[in-house]
């Protein structure tokens, strides 16, 4: 446990809701990973990778959150901080998030570590870095921690450290938190609208596989995951998906230094998303719980606290 966080929220931006919404609405960052590469996957699908590479000895692989992409402000501001500190950067887009719908009926999801594995293997094959660090946000943070936990004992030596922010370590707990009346009105409606648009696009591609009529009445992640995520990706139901794809049970196995930063007032997270006992018993897994910050927000100053904190931990 990191008992004292260095983050302090601006006094004029109180509460987790404001600290989540305002940075999301006003956050802007210059595009610094402007070199696009398409990675063809063994299953016939593809991933779009966005690079900044200058042949440096350190590479950071950045994984974005739900219904975002590699151009998101939090990803690009993180990339800029890492580039300034001496890293090359690869920010990758989940399936269907890079501006073009992916080829297969499946989507991306919170436990699809096979895609992160493919990205890392490709990066290590084409980039000269002697060290590869990982950074993830929200869903991308869960994916990163799950990958590290399930790959413990067989990770390449080149994999160094990881820093993740605002992670729903327990997907069921996070789903319950987001199903509250306020969160359904503020966030869930936007997520379901975006995911629904992708379902309709998939239906146009695979009408015999995707039943667009099942969108009727979808109002929560439980609804969506029960009707689409679980059956499309081989899970029994939403509960099975959440249980098998949450990183929480795997955190104690992690054998690389990693830092999880979850704000205490994050409106997306429930109590199980703050794994204090795991951190207290692990030499590798570090947990920092700032009193404020919201969900992938952490506003204040020049807006670069997450970047500075990541660089500090990766260098330590």
Could you confirm whether 295 is annotated as catalytic? yes
Could you confirm whether 77 is annotated as catalytic? no
Query: Phi and psi at residue 94, in whole multiples of 5°?
Result: -60, 160
For residue 217 the two structure tokens come to 């009445």
Q: Catalytic residue, from 109, 122, 127, 295: name it.
A: 295
Tokens 């439980």 correspond to: 222
- Number of Cβ atoms within 10 Å of the Cβ of 204: 11
Q: Catalytic residue, from 64, 110, 266, 286: name it.
A: 266
Closest CA to 113 of 150, 78, 67: 150
Could you confirm whether 194 is annotated as catalytic? no
Q: Catalytic residue, from 110, 138, 246, 282: name it.
A: 138
| 8 Å CB contact between 137 and 310 | no
Q: What is the 3-state secondary structure (H, E, C) of the chain?
A: CECCCCCCCCCCCCCHHHHHHHHHHHCCCCCCCCEEEEEECCCCCEEEEEEECCCCCEEEEEECCCCCCCCCHHHHHHHHHHHHCCCEEEEECCCCCCCCCCCCCCCCCCCCHHHHHHHHHHHHHHCCCCEEEEEEECHHHHHHHHHHHHCCCCCCCCEEEEEEECCCCCHHHHHHHHCCHHHHHHHHHHHHHHHHHHHHHHHHHCCCCCCHHHHCCCCCHHHHHHHHHHHHCCCCCHHHHHHHHCCHHHHHHCCCCEEEECCCCCCCCCHHHCCHHHHHCCCCEEEECCCCCCCCCCCCCCCCHHHHHHHHHHHC
Q: Mind telling me the catalytic residues?
A: 138, 266, 295
């Amino acid at each position: 446990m990191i008992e004292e966080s260095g983050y302090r929220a601006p006094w004029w931006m109180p509460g987790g809701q404001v600290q989540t919404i305002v940075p999301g609405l006003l956050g802007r960052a210059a595009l610094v990973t402007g070199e696009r590469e398409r990675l063809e996957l063994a299953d016939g699908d593809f991933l779009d990778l966005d690079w900044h590479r200058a042949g440096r000895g350190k590479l950071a692989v950045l994984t974005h959150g739900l219904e975002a992409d590699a151009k998101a402000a939090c990803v690009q501001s993180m990339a800029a901080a890492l580039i300034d500190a001496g890293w090359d950067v690869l920010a990758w887009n989940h399936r269907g998030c890079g501006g073009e719908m992916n080829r297969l009926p499946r989507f991306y999801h919170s436990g699809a570590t096979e895609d992160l594995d493919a990205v890392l293997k490709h990066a290590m094959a084409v980039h000269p870095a002697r060290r590869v660090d990982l950074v993830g946000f929200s869903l991308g943070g869960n994916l990163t921690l799950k990958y590290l936990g399930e790959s413990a004992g067989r990770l390449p030596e080149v994999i160094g450290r990881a820093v993740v922010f605002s992670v729903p370590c327990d997907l069921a707990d996070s789903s319950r938190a987001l199903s509250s009346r306020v969160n359904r009105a503020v966030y869930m409606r936007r997520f379901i609208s975006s995911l629904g648009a992708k379902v309709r696009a998939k239906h146009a591609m695979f009408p015999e596989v995707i039943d667009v009529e099942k969108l009727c009445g979808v109002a929560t992640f439980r609804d969506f995951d029960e009707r689409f995520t679980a059956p499309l990706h081989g899970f029994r139901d939403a509960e099975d998906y959440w249980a098998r794809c949450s990183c929480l049970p795997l955190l104690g196995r992690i054998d690389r230094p990693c830092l999880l930063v979850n704000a205490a007032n994050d409106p997306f997270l429930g109590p199980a998303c703050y794994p204090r006992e795991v951190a207290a018993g692990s030499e590798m897994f570090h947990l920092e719980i700032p009193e404020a910050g919201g969900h992938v927000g952490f506003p204040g100053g020049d807006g670069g606290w997450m970047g500075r904190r990541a660089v500090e931990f990766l260098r330590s």
